[in-house]
Structure 1
Amino acid sequence: MLVLSRKEGEQLLIGENIVLTINRISANRVAIGIEAPKDIRIVRGELDQKEISPRGVSPMSVVVEQSTVSVASQADR
């Protein structure tokens, strides 16, 4: 596992087409913006594979439907 430290506003690049931006850091939470192609499926790590329905989407999963996803907007800073 690669462990990196980042400050608010800094980014991580994964491959050529995925960008993670640290939008906000508070006491025990980090808001991360994710820019990824729409065919990349993004699911929170705590979800067990058994909870994902045969159609591929459970009520608790997040699937990228647009060209980019932003978890928290810059206006929230």
Structure 2
Amino acid sequence: MLVLSRKKGESIVINDHIEITVLGVEGDTVRIGVSAPKHIDIFRKEVYDSIQEANRDSVSPAEADIEALMRLVRDSQQK
């Protein structure tokens, strides 16, 4: 992990296309602004993690669905 110190109004640039600017600091809270091309998705980490979990859940078959499929296969083989 790269660790940088920035003051209010200062920025960092990532890969020529993404600029992160410190907008303000109030107590333990740092406000940042992110400028990036529209095709780049930007999420808060907790939102990103939630999206990733939902994606994993959507491609993982439920145990009940697997059992139902296995019953269908067994039934079709017995006929």
Same fold, judged at TM 0.5 (above): yes
In the superposition, the TM-score normalised over structure 2's length comes to: 0.61
Mind listing any 5+ residue stretches in structure 1 that lack a counterpart?
55-77
Q: Does 1:12 align with 2:12?
A: yes
Identity between Structure 1 and Structure 2 (%): 45
**Cα deviation digits, residues 24-61 of structure 1 (max 9, x gap):** 00101111011100000111112321146x7xxxxxxx
Aligned-partner Cα distance in 1 for 2:36–2:24: 19
- Structural RMSD (CA): 1.6
SS in 2 for 1:46: helix
Give the paired residue count: 53
Whose RCO is larger (CA < 8 A, sep 6+)? 1
Q: Extract structure 1 runs of 4+ deviating beyond 6 A.
A: none
Aligned-partner Cα distance in 2 for 1:33–1:7: 13
Q: Which moved further from structure 2: 1-10 or 38-47?
A: 38-47
Structure of larger gyration radius: 2
In the superposition, the TM-score normalised over structure 1's length comes to: 0.62
1:42 maps to what in 2?
A: 42
Mind listing any 5+ residue stretches in structure 2 that lack a counterpart?
59-79
SS in 2 for 1:50: helix
